[in-house]
Every structure is written in C-alpha cells, then in structure tokens.
Chains A and B, each alone.
Chain A
Amino acid sequence: MNEIMTFIVTLIVAAISYSTPLLFGTLGEILTEKSGNLNLGVEGIMYMGGAIGLGGVFYYEKIVGAGNANVIVAFAVAILFALLAGALASLIFSFITITLRANQNVTGLALSIFGTGVGQFVGEYMRIQAGGYVSISNDLKEAFIASPFPNFLQNIPIIGDILFGHSFFFYLAVVLAICLHIFLKKTRTGLYLRSVGESPATADAAGINVTKNKYLATIIGGGISAIGGMVYIVTLAGCTWNHEGLAGFGWLAVALVIFCLWRPLSAIWGSVLFGALMILYTRLQIPFIPTELYKILPYVVTVVVLVISSMRNNKEKQPPASLGLAYFREER
C-alpha cells in the first residue's frame, strides 16, 4: 500500500514538472485562439522562447560574473527574454495574417519552421561562443527548480510533495490560468475579445476594434507560450539547450487547447494529465500496451474529444466560431 502511494506521488510530481511548459504553451494559445487567430507556430515560438530565455540568463551571468548573479533578476531576465522572443515571433505572425491578410495555417507553419530554426541557431551559436556548452552556475540551476515554499510546508507527507514541492514556474502558470479565466469570463475587455473570435463582423459593427484585439491577443499569447519553452530549458533540461527534448511540446500544447475546450482552468488539470501521459511509459508497465504507444495517448485522447464535441454540437464546447478565418471588413 505504502509503495503504491509513493509511486503515485512521484508520478504526480513528475507529471507536474512536465506539465508546466505545456501549461504556458496552452494558455498562450488559448488567448490567441480566443481572438480567432489559429497560430500553428507554437512549436517555433517555444523554441525561440527556450533558446532566447536561456541566452538571457547566460549572458546576464556572464556580465555580472558567476556567483554574483541575483536570483530574482535571473528569473526576471529569463521570463522577460522569453516573453519578448515570443511576442516578436507572434508580431510577425500577426502582421502577415492580420495586416497583410495571408492564410493563418500556412503562416503558422512558416513560423514553426522559422522559430525552430532561430531556436536552434541561437542555441548552437551560444554553444560555440561558450566553447563547448552553455553553462549556468549551479546556484541558478537549483534556484530555477527550487520550490518557493518554506521547508516545513514541503515536508508535510504526501500533501507537501504534491502541493508545495514544485518550481516557482508551476505556481506562476496556475495563477496565470486563473487570471486568464477571470479575464475572459468576467471582464468587459475579455468579452470583447471573445466576440472578436466568435464573429468579427458583429464585433466590428458594435464598435470593437477587431484589428487591435487580434494583434494584442496574439502577441501576448505568443509571449506566454514562449515562456513555456524557457521553462522546459531551465527546469527539465537543466539549463542546457536541448532541442530534442523540447521538440513536440508546442504541438502538444495545440492539442491541449482542444482537449481542455479553450478553458484556461481545465488546462491546469489537462496539462497535468498530458504530462503524466508523457512520462507514464518510463514508470509504469501495463501488460498488452507497448510503452511506445503511451506517447500517442495524448493525441488519441485529443482526437476523441474533438470528435465528441463536434458530434454533440454543444455551443459551449466549440472552437471560437471564426477560428482560423481572416477578417476583411470589405468582404462582409
């Protein structure tokens, strides 16, 4: 009994550490999609966030000298650099799809190609500059994965591990999810944004600035997604550029947006579930199911959710009605 308990606790803890990058990626994409923009460039955005966020910390530490780095500044630098990288990538996407009216699917894929290229390039460039591999001091590495809660809370059996043992980024993501929920459901600005995603023509007629809403949601959303890439690099990858590990997170985030039906709060448990599915194969052998097939479970589950929600045709559980469609005022 005790063994099972320990197993479940370690599984949940590991799942949550994998869920954090996903949760950031998903929250950003939810915000983007709520404005009716389907940005398929999340994979590229997360690459850029990962490489440039790591780069920010690396050069910050280089400038102040190892050992003198302030932990809070390091966190701020990492988040800010990732945010800016994602915002910049999404700005390109927004400009091409909103102002220049190009197809969103194609532009998103182009952004994926571009972003993975930039991420790789920056990662490689830093590696060459640093001569060998990018090294961050151990103090910072530990700070990035350390829990922000005091020891006595973390030491509570079971609850301490599950609730208080995670990195600062996880709690930040949860707070962000709650804020996003309140923003979308309870504020007037959020309502305007949703109306732009559902029916831009109606929103336009009501005097809402469609272009501004789409731009802001996509750029901020991209910035949030990019933080996810950075979180992966500084927590799970141990502050080294690891593109193989990061590959697929962006696409999984797109899947998770569907799975949680565009709801930020559902994204919290959804990301933990996906995180568990991602690592389950390393921890649990179920007879008759080969371990490699575990990895496709998140995608299978997503397809099932997508199909069922379309069959039920429940208005509450649909993609934003104009998702992926460009809005041209003169084509009304």
Chain B
Amino acid sequence: MHNEAKTPLIRLAKREGIRPASTWLIRIASILVALILGSFIIMITGVNPIEAYGTMIKGSLGSKVYLQQTIKIAIPLLGCALAIAPCFKMRFWNIGAEGQITAGALAATFVVRQLAGKVPSLVLLILMALASLIGGGIWGLIPGFFKAKWNTNETLFTLMMNYIIIGVVAWLQIGPWQGRQGRMAQFPAEAILPKVFGIHCGWIIVLVLVVVVYIYMNHTKQGYEIAVIGDSLNTARYAGMNVGGIMMRTMFLSGAVSGLVGFIVASGANGTLASDIADGVGFTAITVAWLSQLNSFVMIVISMLLGILTMGADTLQTNLNVPVSISHIIIGLLLFCMLGCEFFINYRMILRSKAHGKEAASK
C-alpha cells in the first residue's frame, strides 16, 4: 500500500524515436481538436458549424479571386516566419518583426519619394528592395547589438522597438509625408510590384526565400553556428565562435528579410505606407515559424492555413453575419492546440497500472 502511494497516477517519460508519420498525425489531430472547439463558439452565434466551415473554405479557396486574396494574406506571414526562424533557432526571441516590417516599408517609401520618376521602374523597385533590407536590418541590429554587448533582454527590447517605429510612421503619415486626410499618397505606378497570375510577384520572392532560408539554416557554416548557439551558448563559446558577432549578424539578416516583407506589402499589396502596415503579421508569423518547427517548407502550409482562416472569416461575416473576430479566436485555439500537442510528441504518459499497484501491494 505504502509503495503504491508513491507512484503518481500519471507518470511522464521522454519519448524516444517517434516515427515522423505519427508526429504529423498528432499535429493534424490537434488541428481537428481546435476546429471542434471553434465550432462550439460558432454555435453560440446560432450558425451551424459545418455550414460555417464550409463557407470559410468556399470563401477562401472556392474561386480564383478568393484564392488570390488568401494567398495575399499568406505571403507576408510566410516571409516573416522565414525571417524569424534563424533567430528562434538561436534562441534569440526576436518579437520585433512587426517593427522590422514597418522599418523596411518606411525605407522603401523613402526611396519612392526621392527617386520616383527619375529612374526606370525596375531600377526603382530594386533600390526599394535594397533600402527595405537595410532599413529592416538596422531595426533588427539595434537590439542585437545591445544583447551582444550588455546582454539586454531581447524579448522586451524588440517589443518596444515595434511601437517606436510604428509611432514614427504614424507621425510621418499625418505630418511631413501626408497625402490627404491623414493618409500618405499612393505610390506611382512604377513603384508597384508587377503581378504574376493576378497576384503581386511577392509570392515568387517569398517562395525563393523558402529555399534560400532552408539552405542557409541547414547547409551553411553560418546556419550551423546558429544551431550551435541555440543548443548551447557555452559550447559555442568554447568552440571559439564569436557569439556576439553571430547574434548581430543573424539579427541583421532577420530584420532585413522582415524589412523586405514590408517592401512587398507596401509596394505589392497596399500601394502605400501606413502605420498599421504590419497589422499583427509580425506577431502571427512568430507562431507560424514556431509551429512549423522552424522548417521553411512546413511554413508554407501553416501560413496558408492561417490565410484560409482569415479570409474565410471575412466571407463568414458577409454571408452569415458572424463577427469577423471569430478568425482570431479560431487561430488562437489552433495555436494553443498545436503548441500543446508538441508535449504529446515529446513525452508519453504512463498511467499507473493496476497490475503495478497489486505488485507493489504484494511486496
């Protein structure tokens, strides 16, 4: 009896060598759980959840126009998730993608204001892209520098940097760069990204980035350095790596990619700059990156999934009068379930078996 009391009802053990197929099975199951939980909330509004999910799928994938819109939502999510991946691999919690997007878009807009009409369209677009890389990169480098030099908490620093740059753009928007009625003027036609298959060519850029980031993370020396730092800071130091330098470099690159996303959104999707250009993408992308296990190809799937939910919820509101905020609730539930399910992939639970109890009692 005495022994039995010491064995807890549920014990945990690290799972070793789980098959990849079963891990994905668990993840898909967690998505289903989230959708079932979401259906309860849909029911509150008096709408049949099956009808609602059907409307969401039809409204996001059902026609060419809807599909294009969905992809448009997924592009910046994917791009930003790619940008965040190296930082998170390094266990550098960069939650400043929101600001880095804005900084990149700001830099690109600066180029438009200076050079539009003076250079050919292609040159202008390339210069805008370069400027956005530098703008976003610098905005990422600043917290990276302080982290490397004085070990300043990067989570809090990058978070504050978001609101600073967003505030600066808000000022430009109603101040020096104001077009009319508190908004900036639309970019001239030559500063707009051309369309391919009806969607601005940002999708090609991010798909190229998927491959580039994959190779960078898995098959280059720099990617290896990032992985070592993420696993063990002391090992990296012991191996003679310049940890501070690598942190700053990674943060610059990460910020630069986010900045490029800012350029894509400003030039491709919105055609102008506004203080809400990032619109939460920087935060949502963090969850995309994390849920994809920092694997760039999986990010395509997850960002499309979130795109479908966001776009679907729009249609849900117009067709069935369900508040559009349902998309945030379902995305939140999805994230909770997917974050939680990793536990069941890494650990297995052992219930205290009856046989064990008897055995203990007989001893």
Interface residues of A (CB under 8 A from B): 38, 40, 44, 92, 95-96, 99-103, 105-107, 109-121, 124-125, 128, 248, 251, 254-255, 258, 290, 292-293, 295-296, 299-300, 302-303, 306-307, 310-311, 313, 319, 323-324, 330
B174 within 8 A of A: yes
Would you call the interface of chain B mostly helix, strand, loop, or mixed?
Answer: helix
Tell me the bound Cα distance from A11 to B34 in angstroms: 47
Stretch of B196-204, B215-223, B235-243, B324-332 contacting A (4+ beta carbons < 8 Å): B324-332
**Chain A residue nearest in CB terms to B329:** A117
Task: Determine the chain B residues whose CB is within 8 A of the CB of A292 once the complex forms.
Answer: 167, 170-171, 174-175
**Chain B residue nearest in CB terms to A295:** B167
Task: Determine the chain B residues whose CB is within 8 A of the CB of A115 once the complex forms.
Answer: 332
Tell me the bound Cα distance from A314 to B283 in angstroms: 31
Other 15 A-B pairs with CB < 8 A, given A109-B283, A114-B331, A255-B156 = A96-B340, A109-B95, A110-B332, A113-B328, A114-B328, A117-B331, A121-B326, A124-B323, A258-B153, A292-B167, A293-B168, A296-B167, A310-B153, A311-B152, A319-B153
**What are 18 A-B residue pairs whose CB atoms fall within 8 Å in the complex?**
A102-B339, A102-B343, A109-B95, A109-B286, A110-B336, A114-B333, A114-B335, A117-B329, A119-B325, A121-B328, A293-B171, A299-B164, A300-B164, A306-B153, A306-B156, A307-B146, A310-B146, A324-B93
Task: Determine the chain A residues whose CB is within 8 A of the CB of B284 once the complex forms.
Answer: 109, 113
Would you call the interface of chain A mostly helix, strand, loop, or mixed?
Answer: helix
A105/B155 in contact, CB under 8 A: yes
Task: Determine the chain A residues whose CB is within 8 A of the CB of B95 once the complex forms.
Answer: 40, 105, 109
Task: Determine the chain B residues whose CB is within 8 A of the CB of A106 once the complex forms.
Answer: 286-287, 290, 335, 339
Tell me the bound Cα distance from A258 to B332 in angstroms: 26
A255/B167 in contact, CB under 8 A: no
B333/A103 in contact, CB under 8 A: no
Q: Which of A92, A105, A310 contacts B152 (CB 8 A)?
A: A310
Task: Determine the chain B residues whose CB is within 8 A of the CB of A128 once the complex forms.
Answer: 323
Task: Determine the chain A residues whose CB is within 8 A of the CB of B174 once the complex forms.
Answer: 292
B335/A110 in contact, CB under 8 A: yes
Task: Determine the chain A residues whose CB is within 8 A of the CB of B328 once the complex forms.
Answer: 113-114, 116-118, 120-121
A306/B286 in contact, CB under 8 A: no
Interface residues of B (CB under 8 A from A): 14, 41, 44-45, 93, 95, 146, 150-153, 155-157, 159-161, 163-164, 167-168, 170-171, 174-175, 280, 283-284, 286-287, 290, 323, 325-333, 335-336, 339-340, 342-343, 346
Task: Determine the chain B residues whose CB is within 8 A of the CB of A296 once the complex forms.
Answer: 163-164, 167-168
**Chain B residue nearest in CB terms to A121:** B325
Task: Determine the chain A residues whose CB is within 8 A of the CB of B329 once the complex forms.
Answer: 114, 117-118, 121
Task: Determine the chain A residues whose CB is within 8 A of the CB of B160 once the complex forms.
Answer: 255, 299-300, 302-303, 306
Task: Determine the chain A residues whose CB is within 8 A of the CB of B325 once the complex forms.
Answer: 116-121, 124
Q: In the assembled complex, how far is the CB of residue A241 from the closest CB belonging to chain B, in whole angstroms?
A: 11
Q: In the assembled complex, how far is the CB of residue B159 from the closest CB belonging to chain A, in whole angstroms?
A: 7
Tell me the bound Cα distance from A118 to B95 in angstroms: 22
Task: Determine the chain B residues whose CB is within 8 A of the CB of A313 once the complex forms.
Answer: 150
Tell me the bound Cα distance from A38 to B335 in angstroms: 18
Task: Determine the chain A residues whose CB is within 8 A of the CB of B339 once the complex forms.
Answer: 96, 100, 102-103, 106-107, 110
Q: Which of B93, B164, B336 contacts A303 (CB 8 A)?
A: B164
Tell me the bound Cα distance from A116 to B168 in angstroms: 24
Q: In the assembled complex, how far is the CB of residue B298 from the closest CB belonging to chain A, in whole angstroms?
A: 15
Q: Assuming A114-B332, A255-B160, A303-B160, is B155 touching A38 (CB within 8 A)?
A: yes
Task: Determine the chain B residues whose CB is within 8 A of the CB of A102 once the complex forms.
Answer: 339-340, 342-343
**Chain A residue nearest in CB terms to B290:** A106
B168/A103 in contact, CB under 8 A: no
Q: In the assembled complex, how far is the CB of residue A1 from the closest CB belonging to chain B, in whole angstroms?
A: 33
Tell me the bound Cα distance from A119 to B333 in angstroms: 14
Tell me the bound Cα distance from A125 to B321 in angstroms: 11
B155/A117 in contact, CB under 8 A: no
Tell me the bound Cα distance from A119 to B283 in angstroms: 18
B323/A125 in contact, CB under 8 A: yes
A117/B332 in contact, CB under 8 A: yes
Q: Which of A101, A111, A330 contacts B343 (CB 8 A)?
A: A101
Tell me the bound Cα distance from A38 to B287 in angstroms: 16
A251/B163 in contact, CB under 8 A: yes
Q: Which of B163, B170, B286 contacts A299 (CB 8 A)?
A: B163
Q: Which of B45, B161, B287 contacts A125 (CB 8 A)?
A: B45
Tell me the bound Cα distance from A311 to B153 in angstroms: 11
Q: In the assembled complex, how far is the CB of residue B53 from the closest CB belonging to chain A, in whole angstroms?
A: 17
Task: Determine the chain A residues whose CB is within 8 A of the CB of B152 once the complex forms.
Answer: 306-307, 310-311
Q: Which of A99, A103, A120, A303 contacts B323 (CB 8 A)?
A: A120
Q: In the assembled complex, how far is the CB of residue A99 from the closest CB belonging to chain B, in whole angstroms?
A: 8
Task: Determine the chain A residues whose CB is within 8 A of the CB of B323 once the complex forms.
Answer: 120-121, 124-125, 128
Tell me the bound Cα distance from A286 to B326 in angstroms: 43
Q: In the assembled complex, how far is the CB of residue B141 from the closest CB belonging to chain A, in whole angstroms?
A: 14
Q: In the assembled complex, how far is the CB of residue B215 from the closest CB belonging to chain A, in whole angstroms?
A: 25
B45/A113 in contact, CB under 8 A: no
Q: Which of B93, B167, B283, B290 contacts A112 (CB 8 A)?
A: B283
Tell me the bound Cα distance from A296 to B99 in angstroms: 13
Q: Assuming A92-B336, A102-B342, A114-B333, is B155 touching A125 (CB within 8 A)?
A: no
Q: In the assembled complex, how far is the CB of residue B147 from the closest CB belonging to chain A, in whole angstroms?
A: 9
B157/A306 in contact, CB under 8 A: yes
Task: Determine the chain A residues whose CB is within 8 A of the CB of B155 once the complex forms.
Answer: 38, 40, 105, 324
Tell me the bound Cα distance from A92 to B286 in angstroms: 19
Q: In the assembled complex, how far is the CB of residue B56 from the closest CB belonging to chain A, in whole angstroms?
A: 15
Q: In the assembled complex, how far is the CB of residue A298 from the closest CB belonging to chain B, in whole angstroms?
A: 8
